[in-house]
Amino acid sequence: MPHNASRYLVEGPRVGVRHFTYEDGAEFTARARESRDLHRPWLFPPEGASAYTAYAGRLIEDPSKAGFLVCEKDDGAVAGFININNIVEGGFQSGALGYGAFAHAAGRGLMREGLDLVVRYAFGPMRLHRLEINVQPANAPSIALARGCGFRLEGFSPKMLFVDGAWRDHQRWAITTEMIEGPGRR
């Protein structure tokens, strides 16, 4: 990579977004352990080396997934992560988002900036048309992030996903390319 080339796929004022690498394991797992209280009971990112290797491997190797790290531009620290899962091409051109902030970055607007960038990247170079987020109804910070990034509430799915030992209800949020294009739009 040339010396002046950016390491990020997309950049905003405060964050850059890049793909996961296997080399990110030590920082990612340390941040996940530090963020356990923030994440539970909603999210269980890998906290150990072998779990991270398996997790990152799925995001790196599986074409139906894309994993992104949201990094602070001033020091490169990983602020959070955003994954696009269940990518379906053809007539759908869609994917399902999952995300999490790390504790040191929570409440600073970094994930909002990062999610906006990932949405634009998904609708641009990835050529997707629709992204969905499924959120447990009591997860107010995640709902606020989805709403703040322009996702619309589409419905409610009882017992949708198996999380933390039980089938959990979820709200379905979505955004399409049409929702961010045109005058006066994001």
Specify the CATH architecture of the domain 10-180: 3-Layer(aba) Sandwich (3.40)
Digit-coded pLDDT (tens) for 141-169: 999 999 999 999 999 999 988 888 889 89
User: SS3 of 109, please?
Assistant: coil
Three-state secondary-structure class, residue 52: helix
For the chain, domain boundaries? 10-180
Low-confidence residues in the chain, pLDDT < 70: 1-5, 46, 182-186
The answer, as to whether pTM is greater than 0.85, is yes
